[in-house]
Structures are given as C-alpha cells and as structure tokens.
Amino acid sequence: IKEINENKMNLYYLDDNLLEKSVSIIKKIDTLLLSYVAKYFNDSSLNDLANEWLLIKRLIHERNMFNNNEHSVFISKFVDSNPSFLHQLELLIEEKILTLKQQLSVDFRDNLHDKEIVTYIDKQINSKLLNYKTSIVEEG
C-alpha cells in the first residue's frame, strides 16, 4: 500500500508532458496489489495478461470520464497542455488492445487450464472494443 501511495504521489507531481510515464505509473498503481498477491502464492503466470487487461480497462474508463466532462488527475494533467491528448489516448488504447490480443493468441491458446480465462478476456476485449469504437463514431 505504501508503494501504491508513492506511485500516486509520483503521478500527481509528474511533468504534464510525459504521457508514457504517466501510463506506466497508472499501470503500477492498478496492478501492484495483484502482483504481490500472485507472488505470495508463487503463481505469476497471469501477471502480464492481468496487468495489460487492467490497464486497458483503466484507459477506457479515463476516456469515458473525459467524454462525460469528469476529470481525474490523469486527464487533468494532459487536457490543458496537450490539444491532441484525446487522439493519443485513443491510439494508446488501440495499441494496448492489439498487444493483449496477440498475447492471448500466443501465450494462452494451447493451455486448457487457461482456456476459460482466454475466452472471458476475448469476449470482454471484443465488447470493450465494440463499445469503444461506437463511442468514437458517435462523437464524430
């Protein structure tokens, strides 16, 4: 929890122009607890997958907040100083979704134990991607 709080402070005080660093810190904030639990149980096999999935969900949530005129620390850092922030965020979400889909197809398709997880995440990705693309079209 101390490490998560330190990362929250790092995010708050980070330079406004460092989108990649901000995303990296957000990923740490959202996944540190999960990583420590996995480490405790000596099973970190799904860490990378879970970390990417949680990051995608967070980025989509941040984008939806922006569209609803709700601002988080993350959004507030970039909206005023970066006119192309929304476009960069959209590209980042698409990139992360493609990366996750590739990871699913390469790392988890052959393992029957992980088949349910892959199916669930696959459905969620397609659902999120569909909702995400629909919202882009609606906006213009």
Sign of the four-CA dihedral 93, 95, 98, 102: negative
pLDDT tens profile 88-139: 888 999 999 888 888 887 766 666 566 777 788 778 877 766 565 545 545 5
Q: Domain of residue 59: give its range.
A: 2-139
Number of separate domains in the chain = 1
Kindly tell me if the per-residue pLDDT of 4 is higher than 60: yes
Q: Token match 């906006």: residue?
A: 139
What average pLDDT does the segment 38-51 reach?
Answer: 85
pLDDT tens profile 53-83: 899 989 988 888 888 888 777 777 777 777 7
Model pTM? 0.78
Is-contact 52 103, C-beta < 8 A?
Answer: yes
